[in-house]
Amino acid sequence: MGNKCIIVMVGPSGSGKTTVGESLSRNGIPKLVTTTTREPRLGEQEGIDYHFRKVEELDPSDFIEQTVYNNKVYGLTKQEVSDALREHDVVHVSLDRHGAKAMKRSFPRETVVVFIYISKEMMAERMRKRGDSEEKIYERLCHSEANDELAPPEDTDLIIENISIQETVDQILSHLTQTN
């Protein structure tokens, strides 16, 4: 692959974006690390899971995109993407639909948007399996519906129903080789 590529995975909570991303990382495709103002959760590491920052440390002009969820800022910096593409031909990141649109705008030739489809029923089931409370599941389902997360963004390049992580990863990698 001579071209640089940013795999942007979009999909609702429970769709498997994180697990697919971990599998892509194990296949040698590094993850872009986003920045957040929330506190690290148990086991999360600075520079691996997120770049943890205070609100006053952030300059909106440094970001390709930013979103607020639960009163915390999340976003991807221009520097993170530039540094990663200097070192690697292919990288991946999970973003919301607005982040995917901003990435396409900033890196139109490099960005491949992959929508990971999941039904509301499967979404709730996976969230239960990972230990989320019924209140949290209801909140996420409402958030997903209100923010149109259950439908692919307009500039989607590939839609995958994530039944099997390995099949999903294989479909993404196959799509990349077909388009490059």
Contact status, residue 104 vs residue 111, Cβ threshold 8 Å: yes
How far is CA 58 from its chain centroid? Answer: 20
Contact status, residue 141 vs residue 123, Cβ threshold 8 Å: yes
Average pLDDT on 68-82 reads 91
Examine the pLDDT at 1 and tell me if it is beyond 70: no
Residue-averaged pLDDT of the chain: 91
Report how many domains make up the chain: 1
Residues 6+ apart with CB under 8 A from 103: 6, 8, 64, 65, 76, 93, 95, 111, 113
pLDDT of 15: 87
Q: What is the pLDDT of residues 36-66, one digit of tens each?
A: 999 999 999 999 999 999 999 999 999 999 9
> Which residue range forms the structural domain that includes residue 134?
5-179
pLDDT of 7: 97
Confidence tier at 169 by pLDDT (50, 70, 90): very high
Rg (CA), the chain: 16
Rounded Cα gap, residues 82 and 37, in angstroms = 22
pLDDT of 180: 65
Name the packing angle between helices 134-146 and 120-129 (round to 10°).
140
Six-digit token pair at 138?
């209801």
Q: What is the pLDDT of residues 114-161, one digit of tens each?
A: 999 888 888 888 889 889 899 989 988 888 888 788 889 888 999 999
CATH number reported for the structural domain that contains residue 72 in this entry: 3.40.50.300
Examine the pLDDT at 164 and tell me if it is beyond 80: yes
Stronger pLDDT, 149 or 1, i.e. the higher one: 149
Q: What is the pLDDT of residues 87-113, one digit of tens each?
A: 999 999 999 888 999 999 999 999 999
Q: What is the pLDDT of residues 5-17, one digit of tens each?
A: 999 999 987 788 9
